[in-house]
A and B are shown apart, each in its own frame.
Chain A
């Protein structure tokens, strides 16, 4: 399957079904959705995860569902939601405090303030190293006992337990030159925020959401119980969905049915990997070393209460925020970049004047174009909007 298939996505219908692994099932699901949606009713479905955004684009799922079923892309891209000041702080750790900064590769090219990035900091001599795993950062600390080594920890609940293991391991080994700059964030808090009182959002516009496609791998860790409260509180259905296009379609049908019936339950389509309780062992490790922060800034969502983790005081010696003076840079996104509005679901990448012209994956201006999970990267990679960016015909928003 190639991205080019989606270049001429103008006419809706079932033409892409042949690309599906199980063509017959895809067709049956598409027909069921068409049959069950009530004409004249809007179904705004937010897919929280970047992984779902990609499945939807890659397989043209939007074209298989009726026009009044709309996928709204959510903030579930860990690289995308890290706000500029936290990235500035990481760069400052490497440049001013002269630490070895270990980071996941995805962060390297995200634009920070003053046209900086970790990549550029490294080119200018800062010691920034890419690691595959938090444990690799520990190895760097072992190999460089005379240097301070900081692991730049980012990510949702899937990536948090590995950081917890690294912290516990560092404690057990008595590593004195290792610490973690913790930026882990919490999915259910973001869902609360997206659905909650518009007054909480300040002057920011809120997106309409009728139901959620819930994250799959995040839910494998936390289980699906944590979504029950927001679903009940804001009366919105949540369906935990797998990453295959057929999973997305089946979950869409489940949401359509709940919306029609006025229900707001948490359902689990991804029973292959997710249980209500999740991975207890991982949760216990996370609770041991992390506590919930009162408030944390997200790119796009702003300051969200109880939405991120910090290191427990008991492990303060391993907390980079305790060991180094970290300042809030007040840095903002590149002028014209619509990432914040895109992450809230109120704008699309094609609403950004920089999309495909100034901003491309080769020369990203915002996090949503850098990360392989970002919406701008998805729009770009799957081609269907390129013509439009180039001023051509044939693509629809």
Chain B
């Protein structure tokens, strides 16, 4: 629920306030309505389909590595892909 995953912006939709991010093979369209001045190549924290804020590439890499280590990343990706995650795992609020 409170999962916020770092992702890199791959494509920005013209005039639609949305972008495509790609993470672990999952491509997802997210909204840019809550951030300002982000573009292709920037890293953002993605929460329930919205870029919440811009973060540095180092911060993104650190967080992703940590999530992978903790087995959280799979759950986050499943959530992004719209699959159910039936049991409790790990999250960040």
Residues of A within 8 A of B (CB): 1, 21, 49-51, 54, 58, 76-79, 104-106, 108-109, 130-136, 154-156, 158-159, 161-162, 165, 215-218, 220-221, 243-244, 272-273, 279, 281-282, 285, 361-362, 369-374, 377, 380-381
Contact bitstring B1-16, A, C-beta under 8 A = 1, else 0: 1101000000000000
A-B contact count (CB 8 A): 143
Of the residues A109, A131, A156, A162, contact of B2 by C-beta under 8 Å: A156
Q: In the complex the two chains form, what is the Cα distance from A116 to B45 in whole Å?
A: 35
CB nearest to A221 among chain B residues: B52
Instruction: List 10 interface pairs A-B (beta carbons < 8 Å), by A numbering.
Output: A58-B90, A154-B1, A159-B47, A217-B92, A243-B63, A243-B66, A281-B36, A371-B91, A374-B88, A380-B88
A50-B91, A372-B91, A377-B88 known; A281-B34 Cβ under 8 A? yes
7 A-B pairs with least C-beta separation:
A133-B49, A377-B88, A51-B92, A106-B1, A372-B91, A51-B93, A361-B87
Measured CB to CB, the closest approach of chain A to B24, in angstroms, equals: 15
A1-B70, A220-B53, A273-B53 known; A130-B82 Cβ under 8 A? yes
Of the residues A104, A243, A272, contact of B1 by C-beta under 8 Å: A104
Is B85 positioned at the interface, with any CB of A under 8 Å from its CB? yes
Is B62 positioned at the interface, with any CB of A under 8 Å from its CB? yes
**B79–A371 CB distance below 8 A:** no
A221 surroundings in chain B (CB, below 8 A): 52
What's the interface size class on B, roughly? Answer: 35 or more
Of the residues B30, B88, B93, contact of A381 by C-beta under 8 Å: B88
Of the residues A21, A76, A132, contact of B79 by C-beta under 8 Å: A132
A50 surroundings in chain B (CB, below 8 A): 2, 91, 93
**B88–A371 CB distance below 8 A:** yes
> Which of A79, A130, A159, A216 has its CB near the most chain B CB atoms (within 10 A)?
A159
**B2–A155 CB distance below 8 A:** yes
Q: Which of B47-85 contact A (CB under 8 A)?
A: 47-50, 52-53, 55-56, 59, 62-63, 65-66, 69-70, 75, 79-80, 82, 84-85
**A49–B82 CB distance below 8 A:** no
B40 surroundings in chain A (CB, below 8 A): none
B50 surroundings in chain A (CB, below 8 A): 133, 161-162, 165
A76 surroundings in chain B (CB, below 8 A): 93
Of the residues A78, A136, A215, A282, contact of B34 by C-beta under 8 Å: A282
**B93–A373 CB distance below 8 A:** yes
Q: In the complex the two chains form, what is the Cα distance from A373 to B91 in whole Å?
A: 6
Of the residues A58, A105, A285, contact of B85 by C-beta under 8 Å: A105
A108 surroundings in chain B (CB, below 8 A): 84
**A79–B69 CB distance below 8 A:** no
**B69–A361 CB distance below 8 A:** no
> Which of B52, B53, B75, B88 has its CB near the most chain A CB atoms (within 10 A)?
B88
**A165–B2 CB distance below 8 A:** no
CB nearest to B28 among chain A residues: A132
**A155–B88 CB distance below 8 A:** no
Measured CB to CB, the closest approach of chain B to A292, in angstroms, equals: 20
Of the residues A77, A105, A131, A132, contact of B93 by C-beta under 8 Å: A77
A158 surroundings in chain B (CB, below 8 A): 2, 4, 47, 52, 93
**B49–A132 CB distance below 8 A:** yes
B59 surroundings in chain A (CB, below 8 A): 272-273
A220 surroundings in chain B (CB, below 8 A): 45, 52-53
CB nearest to B85 among chain A residues: A105
B30 surroundings in chain A (CB, below 8 A): 133
Q: In the complex the two chains form, what is the Cα distance from A288 to B3 in whole Å?
A: 25
B2 surroundings in chain A (CB, below 8 A): 49-51, 77-78, 155-156, 158-159, 217, 373
A162-B49, A372-B88, A373-B93 known; A105-B79 Cβ under 8 A? yes
A105-B84, A279-B53 known; A159-B48 Cβ under 8 A? yes
A51 surroundings in chain B (CB, below 8 A): 2, 91-93
A77 surroundings in chain B (CB, below 8 A): 2, 93
Q: In the complex the two chains form, what is the Cα distance from A51 to B93 in whole Å?
A: 5
